[in-house]
Amino acid sequence: MTTALRRLRNYIDGEFRDAADGRTTEVVNPATGEPYATAPLSGSEDVDVAMAAAEAAFPAWRDLIPAERQKVLLKIADRFEERAEELIAAESENCGKPIALVRSEEIPPMVDQIRFFAGAARMLEGRSAGEYMDGFTSIIRREPVGVCAQVAPWNYPMMMAVWKFAPALAAGNTVVIKPSDTTPASTVLIADIIGSVLDELGHPRGVFNVVCGDRETGRLMVEHKVPAMASITGSVRAGMQVAESASKDLKRVHLELGGKAPVVVFEDTDIAKAVEDIATAGYFNAGQDCTAATRVLVQESIHDEFVAALAKAASETKTGAVDDEDVLYGPLNNANQLKQVKGFIERLPAHAKIEAGGEQVGEKGYFFAPTVVSGLKQDDEIVQQEVFGPVITVQSFTDEKQAVEWANGVEYALASSVWTKDHARAMRMSKVLDFGCVWINTHIPLVAEMPHGGFKKSGYGKDLSAYGFDDYTRIKHVMTSLDG
Q: What is the distance between the alpha carbons of residues 38 and 30, in angstroms, rounded to a whole number?
A: 15
DSSP 8-class letter at 189 = H
Model confidence pLDDT, tens digit, residues 97-138: 999 999 999 999 999 999 999 999 998 877 788 999 999 999
pLDDT attached to residue 96: 97
Model confidence pLDDT, tens digit, residues 224-241: 999 999 999 999 999 999
Q: In this model, does residue 2 exceed pLDDT 60? A: no
Prediction pTM value: 0.96
Q: Would you name the residues annotated as active-site residues? A: 256, 290
Q: Which phi and psi angles does 138 have, rounded to 5°?
A: -110, 140
Q: In this model, does residue 338 exceed pLDDT 60? A: yes
Q: What is the distance between the alpha carbons of residues 455 and 437, in angstroms, rounded to a whole number?
A: 10
Q: Give 182's pLDDT tier (boundaries 50, 70, 90).
A: very high
Q: What is the distance between the alpha carbons of residues 69 and 370, in angstroms, rounded to a whole number?
A: 44
To which H or E segment does residue 107 belong?
Answer: helix 107-120
Question: In this structure, which topology does domain 6-257+458-478 adopt according to CATH?
Answer: Aldehyde Dehydrogenase; Chain A, domain 1 (3.40.605)
Model confidence pLDDT, tens digit, residues 256-283: 999 999 999 999 999 999 999 999 999 9
Q: What is the mean predicted confidence (pLDDT) over 301-323? A: 97
pLDDT attached to residue 1: 44
Asked if 455 contacts 435 with a C-beta cutoff of 8 angstroms, the reply is yes
Model confidence pLDDT, tens digit, residues 143-156: 999 999 999 999 99
Radius of gyration of the chain (CA): 23
pLDDT attached to residue 401: 98
Asked if 387 contacts 341 with a C-beta cutoff of 8 angstroms, the reply is yes
CATH superfamily of 262-448: Aldehyde Dehydrogenase; Chain A, domain 2 (3.40.309.10)
Q: What is the distance between the alpha carbons of residues 280 and 293, in angstroms, rounded to a whole number?
A: 8
Model confidence pLDDT, tens digit, residues 373-408: 999 999 999 999 999 999 999 999 999 999 999 999
The per-residue pLDDT of the chain, averaged, comes to 97
Q: In this model, does residue 3 exceed pLDDT 90? A: no
CA distances from 224 to 22, 52, 204, 241, 264 (A): 21, 11, 22, 14, 43
Q: What is the distance between the alpha carbons of residues 52 and 84, in angstroms, rounded to a whole number?
A: 31
What are the sequence ranges of the domains in the chain? Answer: 6-257+458-478, 262-448
Asked if 206 contacts 174 with a C-beta cutoff of 8 angstroms, the reply is yes
Q: In this model, does residue 421 exceed pLDDT 70? A: yes
Q: What is the mean predicted confidence (pLDDT) over 309-334? A: 97
